[in-house]
Amino acid sequence: MINTATTVITFLMAFLIHNTQSRDTEAIQIKLDELIRVTEAASNSLMDLEALDEATLEAYRRKYELLARRSREG
């Protein structure tokens, strides 16, 4: 009985933590989208990166790594 109760409580706590982290991540994503939207020089195409396929994400990653490298080299 105690073992079953402990398992149920552990499962509920894991679910609660996961749910909280998901909401926090979603809130951060919305805030970042808003910052991209209001920044004049930003590319609005970056606002929904999480919906893109892996190949497209990899292309964006390579593009921004190249920009960062060029910026460091000055």
pTM for the model: 0.57
Q: Could you read off the pLDDT tens digit of each residue along the chain, which spans 74 residues?
A: 888 999 999 999 999 999 888 899 889 988 988 898 889 888 888 888 888 899 999 999 999 899 899 989 97
Can you spell out the DSSP letters for 3-65? HHHHHHHHHHHHHHHHHHHHHHHHHHHHHHHHHHHH-TTS-GGGGGGGGS-HHHHHHHHHHHH
Domain coordinates in residue numbering, the chain: 1-42, 43-74
